[in-house]
Structures are given as structure tokens and as C-alpha cells.
Structure 1
């Protein structure tokens, strides 16, 4: 894992309510989302997204940027997930689009937690 991405996740976990970061929640759609980061600014999102995509061996399929939200579609292990930056409340999350995507998010959460804990 790239150290700067690990540092971003670690400091976000230390400085903000832990229950909001690297947590999986069920969305209204019934699919899952993994909360990743709540301090990366709008203008820094593209760099963060590229680092995360690289770390997860993901391809960026599409990018939608509007006034208050950014939704980038990633393909990871043949599954489509959305990397979402929401301006209010400020939060970056991965959102599943399928049952297989739900399982993938759980695996990503475990991987990121393990790498954060092994780094610090």
C-alpha cells in the first residue's frame, strides 16, 4: 500500500469519530458502502481517487463531477463499485452495485484495516 494513502486513512481514523471511518453501512438501495475518508478536499479528490484505484488494482471506468458530488465508477475484480465524494457531509466512500460488490467491499475493508494497523 502506498504509505501516503495509509497515512491519510490513519490520521482520519485518529482525528474523527472512529465509527464513521472504514465502516460498512447499508444504503437505501440495500447495497453496502464503505466509508473511507472525511477530510480530503474537493480539489484533492482526483489524486486520492487515483491512489486508491492504483492500490485496489482498479480501472477508472467513468467520472461524473457535479457541484456537490463526484462519482467515479471503478472496476475491481470484474465488479463495478462507485467511488463517491460527497461535499456535505464531506465523505469519500466506496458504494457497491451488486451482491458480489458487497462481498468485495468487505474484503477491501479488511485489507485496508490490516495495512493501517501494520503500518502504525
Structure 2
């Protein structure tokens, strides 16, 4: 008998689930704000508990932070602000139109696009090597 694999993935409904089939109960909650983020956190906690490791991601809030990284927070206007960092305490400036997004998902995806490209190329956001 094979042991189930524990890793973060998306199901057919684009929800964060574990490779073993674990689906966080929070996904059944009616509140729309933050469900995907909280469900992803629940799956990563499940993976940690059963596998002893955590997949690395730009938005992972673990103590051993990797840079460059990104963060998203809600603004007073209801839009979401994307912030990028080259290293601890060094924020990378973005053009104003690229800072604000209509949804948290849009902001996270834009940040993932930028950060992922820099991680793969091995450079900081300013173009210098890490």
C-alpha cells in the first residue's frame, strides 16, 4: 500500500487542497473574504503535521523568510495594495497603477508573477544578483 502524498494543490473548483484529498472545512464558509488564503494556510498546516515540511512560497509567513518577497494588504478604499521587498526593511517601489488592485487574488497573482520571475533568475527586484 502506498502512503498518500501531502502537498498543496488546487482542485477542479480552484480551491487549495492537499494531495491526499484533505479539503479545509473553511471552504464551506459563506464569508468570501480571505477564504482562499485561510484554506491555503490550513492545507499547509496539515502538510506540516503529516510530512514535517512546508512547500516554499513567496507569501509564506514562516520565520525563515526568503527575499525578494511580496505582501498584500487591504486599503481604506476597498482595493488591495501590493508591496515588494528586496530584503528585510528594503521596500521596492512600484508604479502607482501597479500597487493597487481590485481583488486580493489579483494582487497576489501580480506579486507572484514578479517575485517568481526574480526567484527563477536569481536576481533582486532591482536586477542585481542575490
Greater Cα radius of gyration, structure 1 or 2: 2
The structure richer in strand per residue is: 1
The structure richer in helix per residue is: 1
